[in-house]
Amino acid sequence: MAKDYTELAQDIVAHVGGKENITKLVHCVTRLRFSLKDEAKADTDYLMKREGVVTVVKAGGQYQVVIGNHVPDVYDAVLKVAGIAGEGSVDADDDVVEGNLFDRFIALVSGLFQPMLGTLSAAGMIKGVVAIMAALGVPSTDGAYVILNAAGDGLFQFLPLILALTAAKRFKMNQFTALAIGFALVYPNIAASFTADKPLYTLFGGTPIESKIFSTFFGIPIIFPTSSYLSTVLPIIAAVWAGSKIEKFFKKIIPDVVKVFIVPFFTLLVTVPLAFLVIGPVMSWASDLVGAVFTGIYGFNPVIYGIILGATWQVLVMFGLHWGLVPLAILELQKGPGVILVASIAICFAQAGALVNIMMRTKEEKVRQLSIPAFISALFGVTEPAIYGITLPMRTPFIMTCISGALTGAYLSFFDVKMQTMGGMGLFAIPSFIEAGNGMTVVHFLIAIVANFALGFGLTQLVKIPNLFGDPTAVAPADGNDEKKLEATPQVVSSPITGEVVPLSETPDAVFASGAMGQGVAIEPSVGEVVAPADGTIRLLFPTNHAIGLATDDGAELLIHVGMDTVELDGKGFTAHVVQGSKVKKGQLLLTFDIEAITEAGYSVVTPVIVTNSADYEAVETLASGQVDLGQNLLEIR
């Protein structure tokens, strides 16, 4: 259960001089940074002694109340109590973050789905209820069936609209303009307009991306997917990203007096056609190419086809590329039993098995709570909550389910298992494999279900379960109230930076020097690189990339804070090479920074390396002095 910081927030607001004394509020990695009308009205002595406040620092024209790692929660509470509009965390430029493309994609997609995970799981469970009703013979025209089907399937049908909102927040775009883009993509009559009986002409005839053109936009052919943009993910994300750039451009050139309606006017005027003429067609062509490639693989060797489809199906669905196979499967089934989608049908049970393992092993109560409805949804073939909310952000469990899909795909293809009809999903796909006069078809499919569940569970057992939320050492409360801790493990961490060792007490910042944030050491860097001092998970990456938090696999929480007050640089001179939530190995590059640019801007580059959960250990001892190199033993934590 999240801690309530309302009382602390009320005290902070009252003792900084009241809400009328606050002109601006932002927060950084550990501090509330107030701009006050009159600092003399703030009761610094009280705040420094107040439980929940580490200390108070006055620097750079700011009144800084040091809170610690949970500063975002306290910040939200202060905004609510004071009734003011804060300016959030100190942001970097959108283009600053670089790094592994796969990590960035995972962070983006899981971040966009995170706000809706609970509702997504609930909708998936309702879809399961509807499937049960259908299995029991309730007609699709029954009122209860119609209403519940709308409740469960509506969110998935109009998923682009919700993603428009979350993407708008991520890409810093006006959310209503983003919604307008989403509404255009799923507009009810647009599919009928672009799929008339007789096409005007055909583009790329005789190729895998052959496209029938039914309409044009000022002479430009409109390529519209037969499956429409309902339930899609990537087209709306790409469209909102493009829209955010277009909106930013028009904000710069349009006078303030007419911005409120002229900016969205031109943004929509450019972005919506771009979505239909470029972004959508690219996705359609990619799907068509996937269909052609997989058809070719099946013609070459069905078992290899089963392995590849089973391994990649979930990835194809994530990108919306599976639509290249679905129409082919429907056409195949119209002629008789089919094989095109067989290798993909039972993969949802690998997700279910992985979730059971995660529920048993996770240290986080929030993950366990999300896993339960995601598990139920997966049994009925709805895997979005499992993938986007849990296994994909954790990475290795998702990879294990792909391996499971490859193995069972090979099994089903080897025995030439065929679907008899296009049926339900998950457990309700079983009737689709009942073949008259051949009981082994459904037996093989049942074996694939059990095998996927067992492999999903067993393969996930071989990998570590990383933390997604909260304290990395937190386990599920025994009584639902008190949070327990794992026993701290002694360990040695290496130096994340090359440079000169500086005692923490000599850092030019009273908070770090006092040890209030934890014990550790500081380094005056000679090379602008930060690497992982141990194997672990990136728990915190501040938007300005000047500070990074790592939870080691042995339970230590490390904060590496490059420079003093460098948050004020708004990310200039800093580049991240990982994203929050990434699993990292010792020695892996985390950050790069421009020492010369930082010092020329007037900031110290002395970098504290802090064990923020020092209280869990008996001692934190510095092992190095003088010059220290990357990978050299730096701290012993015991």
Q: What does the pLDDT look like over 256-304, one tens digit per residue?
A: 888 889 999 999 999 999 999 999 888 888 888 888 898 899 999 999 9
- Determine contact, residues 559/29, Cβ cutoff 8 Å: yes
The Cα 156–Cα 163 span in angstroms is 11
Mean pLDDT computed over 595-614? 90
Mean pLDDT of the 481-494 span: 62
Q: Which pLDDT score, from 0 to 100, does residue 479 have?
A: 36
Banded model confidence at residue 471, pLDDT cuts 50, 70, 90 = very low
CATH topology of domain 6-82: Gyrase A; domain 2 (3.30.1360)
Strands 22-27 and 31-36: antiparallel
pLDDT band at 196 (very low <50, low <70, confident <90, very high): low
pLDDT number for residue 440: 92
Q: Indicate the range of 270-284, 348-362, 363-377 predicted with least confidence.
A: 363-377
pLDDT, average across residues 208-234: 86
Q: Annotated catalytic, 348?
A: no
| pTM, 2 dp | 0.57
Are 533 and 587 a contacting pair, CB within 8 Å? no
pLDDT on residue 589 = 92
Intrachain domains 6-82 and 491-637 with the same fold? no
**Contacts with 610 (C-beta within 8 Å, 6 or more apart), sequence order:** 504, 512, 517, 518, 519, 520, 558, 559, 560, 561
pLDDT bucket at 393, cuts 50 / 70 / 90: confident
Across the strands, what pairs with 611?
Answer: 519, 558
Whether residue 484 has pLDDT greater than 50? no
What pLDDT digit, counting tens, does each position of 261-270 carry? 999 999 999 9
Instruction: Using CB atoms within 10 Å of the CB of residue 478, give its burial: 0 to 12 exposed, 13 to 18 middle, 19+ buried.
Output: exposed
Question: Residue 314 in contact with residue 387, Cβ under 8 Å?
Answer: yes
Q: What is the average pLDDT across 332-339?
A: 84
Q: Which residue has the higher pLDDT, 222 or 363?
A: 222
Average pLDDT of the chain to the nearest whole number? 85
pLDDT of residue 531: 94
pLDDT, position 96:
36
**Catalytic choice (8, 22, 28, 367):** 28
- The average pLDDT across 607-617 equals 87
Q: How far apart are CA 590 and CA 326, in angstroms?
A: 41
What does CATH list as the number for 491-637? Answer: 2.70.70.10
Query: Taking 70 as the threshold, does the pLDDT of residue 350 lie above it?
Result: yes
Helical segments of 172-233, H only: 175-185, 190-193
Q: Is the pLDDT of residue 93 over 50?
A: no
Q: Where are the domains of the chain?
A: 6-82, 102-154+301-486, 158-297, 491-637
Tens of pLDDT, residue by residue over 507-518, are 888 778 877 778
pLDDT at residue 438 above 70? Answer: yes
**Residue 226, pLDDT score:** 76
pLDDT tens string 517-537: 789 999 999 999 999 999 988
What gap in Å lies between CA 374 and CA 351, rounded to an integer? Answer: 9
The residue type of 612 is: T
How many other C-beta atoms are found inside a 10 Å radius of the C-beta of residue 51?
Answer: 6
As a residue count, the chain comes to 638
Q: Are strands 557-561 and 499-502 parallel, antiparallel or unpaired?
A: unpaired
Helix spans in 215-325 (H)? 234-253, 259-274, 280-300, 302-319
> Binning pLDDT at 50, 70 and 90, where does residue 321 land?
confident
The residue that leads in pLDDT, 468 or 351, is: 351
In this predicted structure, the answer to whether residue 488 has a pLDDT above a threshold of 70 is no
